[in-house]
């Protein structure tokens, strides 16, 4: 997955409202700006954009009075997210939406408005994690359960920076608001359950601070693992280095994405973004998403960010690297074996249908008709003429020996894959089914 961190237009205010008023993506001016950004990313061949949603909690979540218990989404959130999905979909880009940033649980910082709280929500995690999942996350999963454009929900960005010192690893939140690792892990596990209960097809991940915490996240039911890497702070620690053999994706139990790494290095002036992306894909990483496409608004006030790691939109060489990197994604993936002559006799390519209702066997699709028909048609036979001809009991829709290859990628990339397969197979040989659903 060729991607990049957006990571926001206006941190904490892209989705929902606050006492400052609504300025989210559904706002016409905001939408125009965001669409321009996505158009620029699309020109670079970006397939996936990682985008922060609630950030430090400035906007989007309704809390109980002056307390920390989350009651609901605010009235603007779904409209803003709908607008974001529409923009991304129109540009052929999939989204990884980061629900919370670690600053959500760190000490609050002055906002300049007594009615706006930025951060300081550690008790929301420790005392009201269930309400956070049920009242905030699950409504999102229900609303977007059939949305192909949302590749994944990222539960929290770098949660290790909220852990108590003894559980955090190489960097830690050493103040009084530090929370037990178990509280975050429980929220993550409950989020996965909520996604499943809602019937949402998007994946779940966590933007881990570094590979040092791989054992924590490998022990969960996350769909894919995501780690971050900055050479100026992590090179000395081999267990944090994604370029080290010990951290190769083949040593993990799940697909691995490098969810953040610098556009330019603070330490190494010879840092070559394109070469690093190429190396990562050749090593087997499922994605490599540089930090970041642009500097958001307002500029960070804690001295941790600014433009020190570079932004794609301001570095000409980075734009070239990102544009060229799209070629390394496909080059790193071995092409499928050539199909034998007479493919219709031993493989079944099912016609792609727009009315699949999010699954390839959705009501009134070819697969639904094939599944319900007895006997099942032989490979290459035309489908039953209409649902009225269906009989019961259901039959296995797949031919003997039929296999499914699972790809972790965006709808746009899968559609492109389908076109390439059709071109390779030839129109007379059959059909190709591309599905954006999750399953074995």
Residue 310 shares a structural domain with residue 348: no
Choose between 383 and 67: higher pLDDT. 67
The most confident of 106-110, 290-294, 366-370, by mean pLDDT: 290-294
d(CA 252, CA 249): 5
pTM for this prediction:
0.73
Check residue 364 and give its pLDDT: 46
Task: Round the average pLDDT of the chain to a whole number and report it.
Answer: 77
CA 352 → CA 2, 10, 87, 280, 361, distances in Å? 25, 39, 24, 32, 11
Check residue 106 and give its pLDDT: 85
Contacts of 400 (CB under 8 A, 6+ apart): none
Secondary element (H or E) of residue 55: none
CA 203 → CA 4, 7, 276, 373, distances in Å? 18, 19, 26, 32
- CA-based nearest residue to 43, from 87, 91, 95: 91
CA 319 → CA 42, 159, 280, 292, 359, distances in Å? 12, 30, 18, 11, 36
Residue 70 shares a structural domain with residue 112: yes
Secondary element (H or E) of residue 301: none
Check residue 171 and give its pLDDT: 54
Residue 217 shares a structural domain with residue 360: no
d(CA 87, CA 82): 9
Q: Is the pLDDT of residue 272 over 80?
A: yes
| Listed residues 299, 332, 365: the one ending a domain | 332
Residue 187 shares a structural domain with residue 128: yes
Check residue 405 and give its pLDDT: 45
258 SS3 class: strand
Domain boundaries, position 53? 3-332
Check residue 174 and give its pLDDT: 60
Choose between 78 and 411: higher pLDDT. 78
Q: Is residue 435 part of a domain?
A: no
Q: Is the pLDDT of residue 231 over 80?
A: yes
> What is the per-residue pLDDT across 180-195, written as a single tens digit (0 to 9) for each?
899 999 999 999 999 9
Check residue 258 and give its pLDDT: 95
Choose between 63 and 244: higher pLDDT. 63
Check residue 365 and give its pLDDT: 47
Choose between 383 and 124: higher pLDDT. 124
Secondary element (H or E) of residue 210: none
Choose between 266 and 229: higher pLDDT. 229
Residue 268 shares a structural domain with residue 390: no
The length of the chain in residues reads: 440
> What is the per-residue pLDDT across 413-426, written as a single tens digit (0 to 9) for each?
566 666 677 666 65
d(CA 254, CA 221): 10
The whole-number average pLDDT for the span 43-58 is 92
How far separated are the first and last CA of the chain, in Å rounded?
20
Check residue 189 and give its pLDDT: 97
CB 217 within 8 A of CB 206: yes
Residue 277 shares a structural domain with residue 400: no
Q: Is the pLDDT of residue 172 over 70?
A: no
Check residue 226 and give its pLDDT: 96
Q: How many domains does the chain divide into?
A: 2
| Listed residues 283, 301, 332: the one ending a domain | 332
> What is the per-residue pLDDT across 427-437, written as a single tens digit (0 to 9) for each?
555 555 555 44
The whole-number average pLDDT for the span 208-221 is 92
CB 19 within 8 A of CB 113: yes
Measured in degrees and rounded to the nearest 5, phi and psi for residue 23 equal -135, 30
CA 116 → CA 8, 10, 66, 299, distances in Å? 19, 15, 11, 18
CB 351 within 8 A of CB 397: no
Q: Is residue 436 part of a domain?
A: no
d(CA 12, CA 57): 6
> What is the per-residue pLDDT across 363-377, written as a single tens digit (0 to 9) for each?
444 445 445 444 444
Out of 49-53, 101-105, 269-273, pick the least confident.
Answer: 269-273
- CA-based nearest residue to 277, from 57, 47, 65: 47
Q: Is the pLDDT of residue 396 over 60?
A: no
């Amino acid at each position: 997955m060729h991607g990049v961190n957006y990571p926001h237009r206006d941190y904490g205010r892209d989705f929902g409202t606050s006492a400052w008023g609504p300025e989210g993506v559904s706002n016409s001016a905001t939408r125009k700006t965001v669409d321009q950004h996505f158009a620029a990313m699309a020109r670079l061949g970006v397939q996936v954009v990682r985008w922060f949603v609630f950030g430090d909690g400035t906007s989007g979540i309704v809390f109980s009075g002056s307390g920390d218990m989350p009651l609901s989404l605010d009235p603007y959130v779904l409209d803003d997210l709908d607008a974001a999905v529409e923009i991304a979909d129109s540009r052929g880009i999939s989204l990884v939406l980061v629900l919370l940033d670690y600053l959500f649980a760190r000490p609050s910082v002055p906002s300049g408005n007594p009615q706006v709280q930025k951060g300081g929500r550690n008790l929301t995690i420790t005392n009201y994690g269930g309400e956070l999942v049920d009242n905030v996350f699950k409504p999102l999963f229900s609303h977007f359960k059939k949305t192909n454009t949302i590749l994944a929900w990222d539960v929290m960005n770098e949660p290790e920076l909220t852990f108590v010192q003894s559980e955090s690893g190489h960097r830690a939140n050493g103040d009084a608001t530090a929370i037990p690792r178990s509280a975050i892990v429980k929220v993550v596990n409950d989020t996965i359950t909520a996604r499943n209960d809602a019937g949402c097809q998007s994946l779940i991940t966590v933007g881990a601070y570094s590979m040092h915490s791989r054992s924590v996240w490998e022990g969960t039911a996350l769909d894919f693992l995501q780690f971050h890497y900055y050479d100026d702070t992590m090179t000395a620690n081999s267990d944090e280095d994604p370029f080290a053999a010990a951290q190769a994706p083949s040593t993990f139990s799940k697909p691995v994405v490098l969810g953040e790494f610098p556009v330019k290095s603070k330490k190494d002036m010879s840092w070559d973004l394109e070469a690093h992306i190429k190396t990562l894909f050749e090593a087997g990483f499922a994605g490599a998403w540089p930090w970041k496409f642009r500097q958001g608004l307002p500029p960070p006030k804690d001295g941790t960010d600014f433009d020190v790691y570079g932004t794609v939109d301001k570095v000409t060489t980075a734009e070239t690297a990102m544009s060229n990197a799209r070629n390394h994604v496909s080059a790193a993936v071995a092409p499928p074996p050539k199909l034998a002559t007479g493919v219709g006799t031993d493989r079944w390519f099912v016609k792609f249908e727009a009315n699949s209702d999010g699954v390839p066997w959705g009501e009134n699709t070819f697969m639904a008709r094939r599944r319900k028909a007895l006997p099942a048609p032989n490979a290459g036979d035309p489908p039953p003429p209409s649902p009225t001809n269906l009989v019961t009991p259901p039959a296995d829709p797949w031919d003997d020996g039929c296999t499914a290859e699972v790809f972790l990628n965006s709808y746009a990339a899968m559609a492109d894959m389908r076109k390439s397969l059709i071109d390779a197979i030839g129109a007379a040989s059959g059909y190709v089914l591309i599905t954006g659903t999750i399953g074995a």
